[in-house]
């Protein structure tokens, strides 16, 4: 199943968290927090400005982004959990 977000929305897949710490301690599922980093899967056409023009998004498909812990709306597509966020909910792009 494919999804095409509207306007300034972005579909993100969360990046898997580490299973154990650097010291070798295994983290149980009950103690894990949801990751705040993800990979952009799809983007909308852009933000509609007051004058009716559309401003393209600064984010592109494939970027790794950071977002707030409680940002966005969780959706399940083809059995996988994804997050739909507005561009303004994205805190930054991870560059390597």
- Per DSSP, the three-state class of 5 is coil
Tokens in use for 28? 């149980």
| pTM summary value | 0.74
Query: Which element (helix H / strand E) includes 80?
Result: strand 80-86
Q: Give the residue with greater pLDDT, 81 vs 27.
A: 81
CB 11 within 8 A of CB 4: no
Give residue 92's pLDDT: 87
User: pLDDT of 11-40, one tens digit each?
Assistant: 998 887 666 556 666 666 555 556 678 899
Burial class of residue 65 (count of CB atoms within 10 Å of its CB; 0-12, 13-18, 19+): buried
Give residue 72's pLDDT: 85
Give residue 24's pLDDT: 67
Q: Does domain 9-94 have CATH number 2.30.33.40?
A: yes
Q: Give the residue with greater pLDDT, 20 vs 60.
A: 60
């Amino acid at each position: 199943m494919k999804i095409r977000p509207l306007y300034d929305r972005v579909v993100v897949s969360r990046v898997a968290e580490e299973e154990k710490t650097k010291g070798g301690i295994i983290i149980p599922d009950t103690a894990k927090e949801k990751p705040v980093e993800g990979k952009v899967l799809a983007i909308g056409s852009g933000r509609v400005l007051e004058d009716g023009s559309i401003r393209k998004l600064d984010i592109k498909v494939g970027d790794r982004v950071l977002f707030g812990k409680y940002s966005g709306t969780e959706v399940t597509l083809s059995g996988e959990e994804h997050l739909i966020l507005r561009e303004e909910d994205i805190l930054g792009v991870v560059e390597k």
